Structure formats: structure tokens, C-alpha cells
Amino acid sequence: MAIIPIRKFPESVLRQKAKKISVIGDSLKKDKAMQNLIDDMFETMYDAHGVGLAAPQIGKSLRLAVIGIPPEEEEGEVKEYVLVNPEIIKKEGERILEEGCLSVPGYRGEIKRAETVVMRALDRNGKAYRIKTGGLLAEAIEHEIGHLKGELYIDLLESPDKLFELVDDDKAVSK
């Protein structure tokens, strides 16, 4: 496993539309390079204290992201998700959130996201799954799928005064 440097705004790979992954099903499960890439993405995300990381953030323009939702209580375990070729198939409601991004360090911004999302994707074994969720997981799903479209949360700010510079970046939950 390895920690990969995280690409920062305004690097062009963050603005590209990521390519669909063509290795699916059992072939994905057996694809050593892909499995290693997924492990490296989790390691890189945890090293950066992030809750999500999309492949373009480490310079790979692929429709792949990982999410790790921290436990609500201290003894709980991180809930991990691998998103291969994810698509949001339904969004409901609206809420205002303060988001941060590992590729835009030192800032947070206030943006609108859906209250709940329904997403379909493949897991790391190439199996299809579907999630309906709200909370931090829904936020992370929208944020990571944004990365796969070449979108950053700073594109979604209603006005420049909704972007805040951080004094202490360590306390921010970023993706």
C-alpha cells in the first residue's frame, strides 16, 4: 500500500470528466492493479483525515471513489464504501452544508446539497449495489461524484462570501 500525493486546485486532472471503468464483475475482483489502487486510495484518504477521495484527486481520471464514514461513537468502526462507476439516480430535498475538499486545502464553503440521494454503483468485487441515504454519506456521495464530473464544491457556491478560509485546517472534515 502507498500514500499518493493529492492533486490540488487548479490542477487540470481535477477538471476532466473521468473515464468509466471497463473492468467489471469478477474481472474487477481479480484485477490486482485496481485492487491495489483502491487500497492506496483508502490509505491516502485516512492519511489526509478525509472521509472521501475520488480517483482524479490522485491523478487518475477514472470513475472511482472511496468513502469512509467515521463512527458516531468512539468504539465504532469506520464504514467503508467503494464506488465504481457510481451514478446518482434520485435526489430529494435540499439542505445547506459547509464542505471542505482535500484538493482545496485551507478552505470551507457553504453550498446546497440534497437531503437524501439514491446511488447505484459497483463495489470492489464488481458487484452492483444501491444505497438510499442522507447525512454525511449522502454529502460524500454527491461530493465524490462531483469530482468524477470535473466539479469542485467551490463551483457550487452561491457567492464568493460563502467561502471561508480556515485558521486550523486539521479540524475540518474534507473529501
Active site residues: 144
Write down the least CB distance from residue 22 to Zn ion, Å: 25
Query: Judged by CB under 5 A, which of 108, 113, 124, 175 binds Zn ion?
Result: 175
Residue among 6 and 34 whose Cβ is closer to Zn ion? 6
| Minimal distance, residue 175 CB to Zn ion, in Å | 4
**Burial degree of 71 (CB within 10 A; 0-12, 13-18, 19+):** exposed
Q: Which lies closer to Zn ion via its Cβ, residue 28 or residue 67?
A: 67
Closest CA to 121 of 79, 43, 70, 65: 65
Which is closer to Zn ion, CB of 37 or CB of 45?
Answer: 45
Rounded CA separation 159/149 (Å) = 21
Beta carbon nearer to Zn ion, 23 or 154: 154
Q: Find, among 20, 77, 8, the residue nearest to 48 by Cα.
A: 8
| Under 8 Å between Cβ of 63 and 21 | yes
User: What helix, strand, coil percent values describe the chain, rounded to 5?
Assistant: 30, 30, 40
Which positions from 95 through 124 interact with Zn ion, judged by CB under 5 A?
Answer: 101
Closest CB 153 distance from Zn ion, rounded Å: 7
Among all chains, which residue has been given the C-alpha cell 482545496? 104
* Closest residue to Zn ion in the complex (CB): 101
Site for Zn ion in 42-101 (CB under 5 A): 101
CB of 115 to Zn ion, least distance (A): 20
Q: What is the bridge-based pairing of β-strands 95-99 and 52-54?
A: unpaired
User: How many residues at the interface with Zn ion, by CB under 5 A?
Assistant: 2
Q: Which window, 75-83, 117-125, 129-137, 167-175, contacts Zn ion (CB under 5 A)?
A: 167-175
Q: How far apart are CA 50 and CA 60, in angstroms?
A: 18
Summarize as ranges the residues that interact with Zn ion (CB under 5 A): 101, 175
